[in-house]
Amino acid sequence: MDVEASSAARRQRGTADGAASALVLRAVRRVVRAADAQSPCRVLDVGGGSGVWAVPLAAEGAVLTVVDPSPDALASLSRRAREAGVLERVTAVQGDVDCLGELVSAGAADLVLAHGVLEVVEDLPRAMSALVSALAPGGMLSVLVAGKAAAVLHRALVGRVAEALQVLTDPAGRVGPRDPLLRRFDVEGLSTLLADSGLEVDLIQGVSVVADLIASSALETASGGAAALAELESAASSTAALREIASRLHAVARLPVTG
């Protein structure tokens, strides 16, 4: 493959990844935009890292608290927020989900994000309980997690068949004890986790159904280019048989108003 061709493939892959992320942003923006203009949406981003999601939501008018154990990630978040002109709407707090109750007020968030976090926490039920406790009644939890089926497929497609089988047969979807992720999810497992946490599932969509599967050589010549890929990614995300093989699963669930 020549240099020109590979950079074209990289561009296309970047566009395909962007289209996948846009699906997540579209769903959480909907929650932010539904907030009353007089009282902006209060968003808590747990494991928010360098602000990939927090900064665009602050730009929508939300007020954000980002909790993350990594000081480096929080420094990047502050830099990003300053550059985007939203620093006054973003509060960075160093800490982790296990001590969330000591860091933020209970029942005060209209939207809680836990993106890329549930795969790495030691105690999943405890983490879920902390996330739900932070929600205001009627508030929404958005979770983005690694997909199990994609981890099987991606390994099998490059010939790592034994690893693929290991992910498939391990109840947590891990390759082994050295796997950096503690668990991977399927749609049923994610739905059950949310329901068992007292939430009503609003949406489960697949993120990167096709973007991570298409070979670079095919990307270069993909008919319809980036726009067609984005359209395919969007349609596949909500197609039951296809979302199950997405690299990541995105769910939005509501804490019911009781009494």
Q: Which residues bind ligand SAM (CB under 6 A)?
A: 46-49, 52-53, 68-70, 73, 96-97, 115-117, 120-121, 144
Residue closer to ligand SAM (CB basis): 68 or 244? 68
Q: Which of 69, 4, 9, 1 is nearest to 229 (CA)?
A: 9
Distance in Å, CB of 5 to ligand SAM, minimum: 30
Residue closer to ligand SAM (CB basis): 144 or 149? 144
Residue closer to ligand SAM (CB basis): 78 or 216? 78
Distance in Å, CB of 72 to ligand SAM, minimum: 9
Distance in Å, CB of 81 to ligand SAM, minimum: 14
Distance in Å, CB of 36 to ligand SAM, minimum: 26
